[in-house]
Structure 1
């Protein structure tokens, strides 16, 4: 979780634990001149360390760099070295990779120096295993030596020796895949360095004891539970416990990121094959003119490449764009610092600082008292019918009068020196109050009754041809409270807040997000009833133009309708009745016209048939007289139709105007 320091570099001096899964650690120590401070972390902690590490130095010339192990695989980290030390590699195979390097071999009492030409293992014979052989160039002559006969081999170039040390360090650190080393390099003389960072840690937990004794106000004790899973002891550290909800996240900073870049190649000049050109016999003027009119040839491949390169440089902005990017980056840094400072000022965090040094051994936990004061509290009883019980719960209303925020947690209640129950409480800001329930009260029984006979009250509104009806439905819930104890009780009745319902009874003592709370006092050995009345209003709309005359009559006869509304609806109903009568007359006329049309068609057919039959002249004359009389009647009926249509249209216009202007 937190880091472990090598030797006596930087020791933990301060620990701050939070509620969102991180902890802040401070380390401090004296660093001798020319040395560095080394910290070790778990691999999964590196993202938070790189995101939050701060360093303060007193003395010396400042911190020159902070180095840490890469998360690249071992094979990628070894790629930077010009040699390889594989498994079971021979000494000659190692030396052969340094051809041209100057070495000094100590053989017996003498030193052999030279430049490496080659190194190899001679083939094994039947009697001897393969022998190592090193070929050196010394004083212009080649000589062979057995590297195993030397007591020491030293490279003349110190860079090669450093590369060997670095190579072996990478191999050594790779064996511990969970540990990552962070090295703080200091310049100048001796210095005192303090480093701070955050890493993932278990959250600290709080628990309380509420003790009712002989004093008027109960005693509230707060204990913090802290877990040290860091792998090292915290000795005499300054411990702070912070509660609140700051923003925190994981940003993958430790893992190297590689950007896949496009592969771009310059266009290549193609090789031209030789061509044999024939000699010209004649060059006509028309051909000359055609040649002049032809467009210029395309640019050479290299010219195309130059044009492409210029377009690419212009796209990324060139060097001027880079300068602007740097300036923008500096501006972003300034903005970020300002925003962070504002956020720190407006943060809603609160801290409990332990006022004495704390020691917690690794892999151990501790309980630390962080609060002990008398607070304002009153004993209550709370009842919620949704719990399915007839008995209320013993409760207490705690007011935070301590002047500091109290973190949420479990509360164990003691009453008169005995265990009374347990409860949970949310975070309580200074001056705020919370209700906790910790036991069942068997000395009180509460029953509820619901009045399902709803009382309907109607309200009517008419505007722009639409009748709006509001129906208020009342519901009554009755609580019957029986107190069989010899002590008076203050009982809080919880009633759910239902969308669309309004309270008509007494105002609740307080309202939560989902419930009303009513306070009811009950005398000793007494029974009391308490009613909660609620009302819900429904709205319905209906257009008058779509109503028939009979439907309007039902509205006119509604006893809840006002006199003004009844008079206006009666006028509308009268017009509706006239329109209905006119439409009925028009329908009768249309039916008669239809009947006459059919009879005329029949008469014309008979006349046409009888005219070709001898002796039927009299019958034809009778049919003709009837046809003439019907034609006269049709003319009268069509005149009536026109009159009725005009009358209906006029009545409909009057009705529409009346509907638009009436309002009640």
Structure 2
């Protein structure tokens, strides 16, 4: 039996379109790539692009389309990010597995159909469709009941029909929507974008966009001669993950990181709206009355919306390279990696803040393949030396100082180093611009040993200043780091010592050859079979502020002994110290008076007790008179002491006012 629904074929055709092959690719270091597609499109045909679901946000953010034939692009269509269930629910139709055609047609009751039945064209309106018994032991057959244009009701066995066609436009549209939904669901990770253009005849359409892509990577080969310039060879590693073959594609790789981010544009966004209604549209609720009860209802609506989010990113790349050096020279059993016999056709140029390498020859790669393309091979200035930066190790690293005189920005990546015709080790290099310098280390030099000794001295006062009653002392603690280097090889070497740069610490000597964000660099020449010492002297500055009013004369005297104090400052502090000594003397005298008065009070109390006892004894008049005289004498001394105390208090107040005036006038 042959059954054909021509509408199904038409619906399937709406899902296809002209493919636009990739013609240009620009790959960046920020996780995206720029693609350009172009191709010929027949008259009335749409161009079709296919993307992964996760690429759609970037496509919608960056897509640019062009009709190169002079026509105009009318619209761009793409699939909604909706589930199959929602799409089928919106279409109002579902195609079940193994569903007979008669059962499907039954869902379109009232729709008009046309078919070839028994060699004649039959047209009519669907009344019903069902599965009916075909006879004993013959199973079931598909029956379609039609209302013919003549008014006749006819039952058609679909097994004997062919060329069935839906004439109802709405039914055809419904079926097409369902077929599209099922087609899209078979490739859940793929999304189609259609470009419609207006114009006469065939035309050329182009599309440009940015989507996520693997970053391109670079690797280098460096040949270090004993003298003269080195030879550097760089290769770009590019992956084709587009899901299709590249054929003669124009390829460019860009060094630099332009800003890029994800904006949620593909997922449908709905706004929650308020529900509003007129009071007259609401029904009246029944009211319940209670007897002799007063009821107060308070309705409180609390709304809280709290969102918290924190992202910390800290990535730190620890760069390390290691190799082997015996008596300062690496010996490898394998052959040396030499320069490749390649024709470098990459044109290099500045592109704003970026730097690009555009390959002159078109490239081709099958889907899932990667490319290794040379983008630089030329001489570069290099100086062989040793670098010591890890104090936990006794051996420095064999290294090279590269000066980028290539006229190009060299992208960061690993470097395989060859020396004396043999493999010497590996290094990692950060991106650096033309004219800049970089140190790379590729092996451990076992022929050189370094020991480190730290020493710290006492604090030395460098400056004393005072203002508004506050003395500020600036002092420094000298710190020494001694690097003792021993070279056991029979050749002279140049050693670069990286000494850590610490906040608040000032370098005194020697002058650094270079300074990085974290280290001082000192250059040390090592004789053959000899040693050398590098002493790095630094100072840590200390600052201390003290209120002069809180200082005792002895504390002030310690400042007066400091040689860093100027003559003017010494004179001002001596005046304050003299006044403070007078205040101290007044305080001492007042304290002595207090002690004396306390003693007089105790003596008088004792005398009064004795007098009280003697008055009760006859014949003690003379002793009583003696005690009375002592009491009078004590009273007189108490009056004198109190008078002196009052004088001392006045004297102290005057002295303290003078001290305060002197303190406020301090300025040196």
TM-score normalised by L of structure 1 = 0.79
User: Which residue, out of 172, 175, 184, partners 1:173?
Assistant: 184
Deviations 1:508-559 (A, max 9, x none): 1110111111122233343333322212222223333223334344444556
Secondary structure in 1 matching 2:279: coil
Unaligned runs of 5+ in 2: 1-14, 286-349
Unaligned runs of 5+ in 1: 274-344
Match of 1:44 in 2: 54
User: Which residue, out of 510, 513, 519, partners 2:517?
Assistant: 513
1:222 aligns with 2:234: yes
Pair 199,563 (structure 1): closer, same or farther in 2 beyond 3 Å? closer
Q: When you count helix as a share of all residues, which structure comes out higher?
A: 1
Match of 1:204 in 2: 216
Match of 2:362 in 1: 357
CA contact (8 A) 2:224 2:382 kept: no
Match of 1:376 in 2: 381
Pair 612,137 (structure 1): closer, same or farther in 2 beyond 3 Å? farther
Match of 1:403 in 2: 407
Match of 2:39 in 1: 29
Q: Residue 466 of structure 1: CA displacement?
A: 3.5
1:431 aligns with 2:435: yes
1:483-562 to 2 correspondences below 5 Å:
483-557=487-561
Q: Residue 591 of structure 1: CA displacement?
A: 3.1
Match of 2:592 in 1: 588
Secondary structure in 1 matching 2:280: coil
Pair 126,625 (structure 1): closer, same or farther in 2 beyond 3 Å? farther
Match of 2:259 in 1: 247
What is the CA–CA distance in structure 1 between the aligned matches of 2:373 and 2:665, rounded to whole Å?
Answer: 79
What is the CA–CA distance in structure 1 between the aligned matches of 2:110 and 2:463, rounded to whole Å?
Answer: 108
Q: Residue 223 of structure 1: CA displacement?
A: 0.7
Pair 39,557 (structure 1): closer, same or farther in 2 beyond 3 Å? closer
User: Which residue, out of 140, 161, 165, partners 1:154?
Assistant: 165
Pair 43,602 (structure 1): closer, same or farther in 2 beyond 3 Å? same
Secondary structure in 2 matching 1:658: helix
Q: Residue 472 of structure 1: CA displacement?
A: 2.4
Pair 346,152 (structure 1): closer, same or farther in 2 beyond 3 Å? closer
User: Which residue, out of 570, 577, 585, partners 1:573?
Assistant: 577
Secondary structure in 2 matching 1:423: strand
Q: Residue 616 of structure 1: CA displacement?
A: 8.8
C-alpha RMSD over aligned residues: 3.4
Match of 2:272 in 1: 260
Q: Residue 212 of structure 1: CA displacement?
A: 3.0
User: Which residue, out of 199, 208, 222, partners 1:188?
Assistant: 199
Q: Residue 192 of structure 1: CA displacement?
A: 0.3
Match of 1:74 in 2: 84
CA contact (8 A) 1:105 1:154 kept: yes
Secondary structure in 2 matching 1:386: coil
Q: Residue 66 of structure 1: CA displacement?
A: 1.6
Match of 1:59 in 2: 69
Secondary structure in 2 matching 1:375: strand
What is the CA–CA distance in structure 2 between the aligned matches of 1:211 and 1:511, rounded to whole Å?
Answer: 28
What is the CA–CA distance in structure 2 between the aligned matches of 1:587 and 1:455, rounded to whole Å?
Answer: 39
User: Which residue, out of 22, 27, 40, partners 1:17?
Assistant: 27
Moved more, 518-527 or 451-460: 451-460
CA contact (8 A) 2:458 2:478 kept: yes
Q: Residue 488 of structure 1: CA displacement?
A: 3.0
User: Which residue, out of 212, 229, 245, partners 1:233?
Assistant: 245
Q: Residue 426 of structure 1: CA displacement?
A: 0.8
What is the CA–CA distance in structure 2 between the aligned matches of 1:167 and 1:553, rounded to whole Å?
Answer: 99
What is the CA–CA distance in structure 2 between the aligned matches of 1:378 and 1:193, rounded to whole Å?
Answer: 53
Match of 2:322 in 1: none
What is the CA–CA distance in structure 1 between the aligned matches of 2:564 and 2:69, rounded to whole Å?
Answer: 93
Pair 577,233 (structure 1): closer, same or farther in 2 beyond 3 Å? same
- Corresponding pairs, count: 588
Secondary structure in 1 matching 2:383: strand
Q: Residue 419 of structure 1: CA displacement?
A: 1.8
Match of 2:108 in 1: 98
What is the CA–CA distance in structure 2 between the aligned matches of 1:553 and 1:62, rounded to whole Å?
Answer: 93
Q: Residue 177 of structure 1: CA displacement?
A: 1.4
What is the CA–CA distance in structure 1 between the aligned matches of 2:210 and 2:275, rounded to whole Å?
Answer: 41
CA contact (8 A) 1:133 1:144 kept: no
Pair 385,244 (structure 1): closer, same or farther in 2 beyond 3 Å? closer
Secondary structure in 2 matching 1:404: coil
1:101-116 to 2 correspondences below 5 Å:
101-116=111-126
Deviations 1:455-502 (A, max 9, x none): 745544444444333332222333333334443322212211122222
